[in-house]
Amino acid sequence: MIRRRYSQMLAAFLVVTVLGCAPAPAAAAERLIVRTSGLLDLPVVKSVCRLVGCQVLYGLDGTLGKLSLVSIPDALAVPLVINLLETIPGVSVELDQIVRTEGAPGTQAPLALYDKEPINYYGTMVRGGYVRQPAVEILGLLDAHRTYGVTGRGITVAVIDTGVDPHPALKPVLLPGYDFTRNREGGAESTDVNQSTMAILDGEPGFVNQSTMAILDQSTMAILDGPDYAAFGHGTMVAGVIHLAAPRAQILPLKAFKANGSGYASDVLRAIYTAVREDAEVINMSFSFSTRSRELEYALNYATTRGVVAVASTGNNGQKINVYPAALSNVIGVASTTDWDTLSYFSNYGPTVAWIAAPGEGIVSTYPFGSYAAAWGTSFSTPFAAGTAALLVELNTRITPSQAADAQGHAVPFSAEVKKGRLNIPAALRAGRPLLRLW
């Protein structure tokens, strides 16, 4: 009764406040991420929105019920609506920023992309260049599988990205997932294209597009070009690298980015909460926010305190800067190296953002429509660390996120700009294995 009376009084106050103001129209429609806590919660936000003209679209944190997305029409002044919402005790507001995921500039097709010999890799036929590429040897990947007998079996890795195509190499481990860009079941990125948007590339390897510099090797394979498809294939390639490192780990595709590489922060948040709800042990985030987000921190705190290992890319600006979530203390930030253990020229760096590094140049991986491609960027060094995290969790089911980070920190030193050095998977597994009890 007290709560309802207080809500009515607050709503009346807000009506007077709104009628007493003449808000200037917003330049464009905006979206707000609204958190509620304490005495007043989401129903009050809905009441306020009915009064001022904004709209609560949907919740962002599943059954927790404390986080929602609010849309502000063009006619309303965004600062006014934010101020009104924040007058409610226990309510905080954050703008729903647009974020992007894309690759870094590449050069020419790596030799591994020409290795088309079919080989059996844990039950599926893949191309030889996928398994025999330099990164596999540099990281000691196959040696780690043989020595410790772990392949990610029973572990789920959530991939927050552009979606994952049901590539023949990935089908046995691919879960249905969810598409947050369309609010529907299924996480395949091939739904972003149709025959009318496809172009044809014949013959020798060539660029898929100039934005990501991914290089595709195929003959008469349908591919895409142009800004609308600048990141098409990104998620499938990331998933392929995870599969290479942890071939029996299940992959949960959470599509939060469109084919052009853009996505909303709110969809990233929904994906993180969904990954926890779906019992993922690892989250791969091959994207970065240029500015700090309070709600991104809340979401990852929620995930890691429940045992989820979070891994993120440092970004491709070639600068010593902090980007998020890689710079958060409970996230494993991954920079990119060349095949000669030097920092990639495009990789962001610095000990506050880059915990470790891994090869990220000319990485050969799965690509939509059953093909393979090579790409450059911290986006593709990061899934090596995510796959290693899956191996660590299989090896030691009680390992905590901080222990998994410490284990991967047993790395090959090579630069003061990366806190722990270049990832060495056998060393990480050796450090992360459970201690033997003698009683």
DSSP for 388-418, please give it: HHHHHHHH-TT--HHHHHHHHTS-B---TTS
Same-domain status, 230 and 353: yes
- Residue 439: inside a domain, yes or no? no
Asked whether residue 119 falls in the same domain as residue 266, the answer is yes
Domain count along the chain: 2
Is 416 in the same domain as 281? yes
**On the CB side of 88, how many CA atoms lie within 13 Å of its CA?**
33
Choosing from 234, 267, 313, 371, the catalytic residue is: 234
Residue 126 CA, chain-centre distance (Å), reads 25
In a domain, 296, yes or no: yes
Residue located via tokens 């796959």: 387
161 is catalytic: yes
Q: What is the pLDDT of residue 230?
A: 86
Integer Cα distance of 379 and 360 in angstroms: 8
| pLDDT band of 203, cuts 50, 70, 90 | low
Residue 319 lies in a domain: yes
Q: Report percent pLDDT > 70 for the chain.
A: 85
Q: What is the pLDDT of residues 123-152, one digit of tens each?
A: 999 999 999 999 999 999 999 999 999 999
- Mean pLDDT for 6-35 is 53
Tell me if residue 381 is catalytic: no
Residues 117 and 6 in one domain: no
- Of 96, 129, 153, the domain-final residue: 96
> How many of the other CB atoms lie within 10 Å of CB of 10?
17
Rounded Cα distance between 388 and 394, Å, is 10
| Mean pLDDT across the chain | 88
* Residue 291 domain-assigned (yes or no): yes
Give the pLDDT band of residue 16 (cuts 50, 70, 90): very low
Q: Report the CATH number that the domain containing residue 362 is assigned in CATH.
A: 3.40.50.200
pLDDT tens digits for range 366-397: 999 899 999 999 999 999 999 999 999 999 99
**Spatial distance between the Cα atoms of 206 and 208, rounded to a whole number of angstroms:** 6
Structural domain span for residue 8: 2-96
- What's the CA gap between 249 and 159, in Å, rounded? 12
Query: Around Cβ 199, how many Cβ atoms within 10 Å?
Result: 12
Return the pLDDT at 436: 55
Could you tell me if residue 375 is inside a domain? yes
Write the CA distances from 387 to 79, 113, 248, 251, 346, integer angstroms: 43, 21, 10, 10, 23
> CA-CA distance, 103 to 301, in Å (whole number)?
27
Rg (CA), the chain: 23
Amino acid letter for position 264: Y
Confidence of residue 3 (pLDDT cuts 50, 70, 90): very low
Enter the tokens of residue 142: 């196959």
410 is catalytic: no
In a domain, 103, yes or no: no
297 and 359, same domain (yes or no): yes
Catalytic site residue from 41, 96, 161, 217 = 161
* Residue 419 clears pLDDT 70, i.e. is over it: yes
Residues 192 and 282 in one domain: yes
| Co-location of 164 and 80 in the same domain | no
Is pLDDT larger for residue 74 or for residue 179?
A: 179
User: Is there a domain that residue 438 lies in?
Assistant: no
Q: Are residues 64 and 130 in the same domain?
A: no
Residue 390 resides in a domain: yes
The SS3 assignment for 367 reads: strand
Domain end marker among 96, 120, 140: 96
Least confident of 95-99, 173-177, 333-337, 388-392: 95-99
Instruction: Given the residues 211, 286, 379, 381, select the one marked as catalytic.
Output: 379
Inform me whether the pLDDT recorded for 212 exceeds 70: no
Residues 159 and 190 in one domain: yes
Query: Taking the model in full, what pTM does it have?
Result: 0.91
d(CA 174, CA 240): 11
The pLDDT of 66-89, averaged and rounded, is 89
- Predicted confidence (pLDDT) at residue 44 exceeds the cutoff of 90: no
pLDDT tens-digit map of 221-259: 566 767 888 899 999 999 999 999 999 999 999 999 999
Token couple for 238: 């990331």
* pLDDT value of residue 15: 42
Identify the bridge partners of residue 55 per DSSP, sorted by sequence position: 71
Give the residue from 43, 64, 96 where a domain finishes.
96
The confidence score (pLDDT) of residue 197 equals 67
414 and 303 housed in the same domain: yes
